[in-house]
């Protein structure tokens, strides 16, 4: 037997900010829960959801894991990075040399993620 990814969970301080950013970044719809969390759901079947759960603490260090995102067909990495920066992402230096096949960004609360080159 094996397991499959079901969802990616992020602890957040500002649920509205993070739901707005990640739903726009991924093209997911937001389902708010009575407990103050939110699920972001893909319009396509079989893709992992994103669960945003309120957290009392701020992020302190580099993430020990992060998502690697691929631009949709017909979209360039540069176009996608520009779009994500306009949504509130920032460029992040985690020690990359500049020759990596990815761009390192962080969401509005500082959680790193990568946009992969083809």
- CATH code for the part of the protein at 65-118: 3.30.720
Residue 73 contacts by C-beta under 8 Å, 6 or more apart in sequence?
none
1-56 fold? 2,3-Dihydroxybiphenyl 1,2-Dioxygenase; domain 1 (3.10.180)
Main-chain dihedrals φ then ψ at residue 79, nearest 5 degrees: -65, -40
The pTM score is 0.91
CA distance 6 to 110: 23
The tally of CA atoms less than 13 A away on the side-chain side of residue 87 is 22
Predicted local confidence at residue 64, as pLDDT: 84
Predicted local confidence at residue 58, as pLDDT: 82
pLDDT in tens, the chain (118 residues): 888 889 999 999 999 999 999 999 999 999 999 999 999 999 988 899 999 999 878 888 888 889 999 999 999 999 999 999 999 999 999 989 989 999 999 999 999 999 999 8
Domain ranges of the chain: 1-56, 65-118
Predicted local confidence at residue 56, as pLDDT: 78
Residue 68 contacts by C-beta under 8 Å, 6 or more apart in sequence?
102, 113, 114, 115, 116
Predicted local confidence at residue 31, as pLDDT: 96
Predicted local confidence at residue 3, as pLDDT: 87
């Amino acid at each position: 037997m094996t397991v499959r990814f079901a969802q990616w969970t992020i602890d957040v301080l500002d649920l509205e900010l993070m739901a707005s950013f990640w739903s726009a970044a991924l093209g997911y719809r937001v389902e708010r829960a009575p407990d103050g969390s939110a699920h972001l759901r893909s319009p396509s079947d079989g893709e992992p959801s994103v669960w945003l759960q309120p957290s009392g603490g701020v992020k302190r260090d580099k993430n020990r894991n992060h998502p690697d995102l691929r631009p949709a067909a017909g979209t360039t990495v540069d176009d996608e990075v520009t779009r994500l920066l306009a949504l509130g992402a920032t460029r992040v230096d985690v020690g990359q040399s500049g020759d990596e096949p990815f761009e390192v960004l962080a969401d509005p609360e500082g959680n790193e993620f990568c946009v992969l080159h083809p």
